[in-house]
Structure 1
Amino acid sequence: MRLFAAVTPPLGAREELRRQVSAAASGGPERLRWTDPDDWHVTLAFYGEVPEERVAELCTRLGRAAHRHPPLELRVRGAGRFGDRVLWAGVTGDRPAPERLRRLADAAKAAGRRAGAPADDGHRYHPHLTLARARGDVHLAPLVERLADFGGATWAATELQLIRSTLPRSGVPGERPRHELLESWPLTG
């Protein structure tokens, strides 16, 4: 099964961002697949396909990691893009929250390695919420500019989550992956 570890903003933070994104997207590029706000999350570690027999060990190790890390005070702030394919909103917090978030991501990656489900470690960790993906190259700079000054309210990340992502198989244009929360652990460190 296709898995990732994440923290998820609460409904109020997602709604605040949704309103800002709706206003910014008005009249924007048409070739974007917008992520449903219910699926907005901050990925800590993406494991990809994990064999069923490794999931219990991964859960045990993620639970241990959660108990070693404190809750985090985070906020959504600004926007950016990965090339002209992905539009994102940044995630930050007052010091030392960004460093603590990076350490939590490192712990989630280590849990995956030790459980035999190594995370994709190809990029420097950049906490964000994916807002939209482009079909082909789309000039995203105007949207980034419209969202650049956004600064959402502070919210508490209080749990580490393991989420299953099921990719669409129907071939229906616009169909999105389905996300299912498999397990969560409170951050209590």
Structure 2
Amino acid sequence: MTRTFIALEMDANIQRHLNGFIQQVAPVLPTLRWVDPQGIHLTLAFLGELDDERLASASAAAQKASQLCTPFSYSLTQPGIFGSPRQPRVLWMGIEEVSGSLKRLHRLLQQELEQSDFETETRPFSPHLTLARGKAPLNATEQATLQKILAQKNPNAILAGPYPVKHIHVMKSELSRSGATYTCLQKYPLQYK
């Protein structure tokens, strides 16, 4: 069984910028568990544990979706949270992609997965890059710091982009005490003509 998801992997340039943001913010929000910038990706579909046959079907769906979408670029926007400011579940960096290609790719992938009898997400697609996770409430100082971070316009560490997207990736996730390790199983070029 393979714990599988389909995503856009980040290039070294965006990892460097996100690492800069994390290095700035992590010391003032120590309660949060920060992700390794090398593992940051934009998830398009999380599929869970798959046997070899289902993994092949997921890969085929990713390949078909990739053939229906052209390469595109996106930019980073502002940080945000899922959950309450008192106890955020996730601190994330937002994504802006003005052409609509990212949402189109997501929609095409969902359609291909549904045709292969995969359950797909019913919530609206909210593209983001997870930077940290929280389990415990923040203290008053951390809550105030988080509010300042969320209110900043264009934090210095993320003034960069646009970032090109040329491939879709079928990924394997292995969980351990030290965190998740990700391995690319398949990589398909975006190539709609």
- TM band (smaller chain): 0.7 to 0.9
Whether the 8 Å CA contact 1:79–1:148 is kept in 2: the answer is: no
The aligned amino acid for 1:58 is A
What does the per-residue CA deviation read over 1:105-152, in whole Å, with 9 as the maximum and x for residues that have no partner?
Answer: 122222222223323x14211101000001223344344235754442
Q: CA shift at 1:184, angstroms?
A: 0.7
Alignment of 1:1-189 (within 5 A): 1-26=2-27, 28-83=28-83, 84-93=88-97, 95-96=98-99, 99-119=100-120, 121-138=121-138, 139=143, 140-146=146-152, 149=155, 150-168=158-176, 172=177, 175-189=178-192
Q: TM-score, normalised by structure 2?
A: 0.84
SS at structure 2 position matched to 1:177? strand
Q: CA shift at 1:41, angstroms?
A: 0.8
**Alpha-carbon distance between aligned partners in 1 of 2:82 and 2:3, rounded to the nearest angstrom:** 22
SS at structure 1 position matched to 2:179? coil
Q: CA shift at 1:13, angstroms?
A: 1.5
What does the per-residue CA deviation read over 1:64-119, in whole Å, with 9 as the maximum and x for residues that have no partner?
Answer: 110110111111121100011100001113x21xx211111122222222223323
* Greater Cα offset, 132-141 or 145-154: 145-154
* Greater Cα offset, 44-53 or 134-143: 134-143
Gaps of 5+ in 1: none
Q: How many residues align?
A: 179
Q: Detail structure 1 runs of 4+ shifted over 6 Å in the superposition.
A: none
Q: TM-score, normalised by structure 1?
A: 0.86
SS at structure 2 position matched to 1:116? coil
The aligned amino acid for 2:3 is R
Gaps of 5+ in 2: none
* Greater Cα offset, 177-186 or 137-146: 137-146
Q: Percent identity?
A: 26
Q: CA shift at 1:62, angstroms?
A: 1.2
What does the per-residue CA deviation read over 1:133-178, in whole Å, with 9 as the maximum and x for residues that have no partner?
Answer: 012233443442357544421110100001111222xxx4xx2111
Give the alignment's Cα RMSD to 1 decimal: 1.8
Whether the 8 Å CA contact 2:26–2:34 is kept in 1: the answer is: no
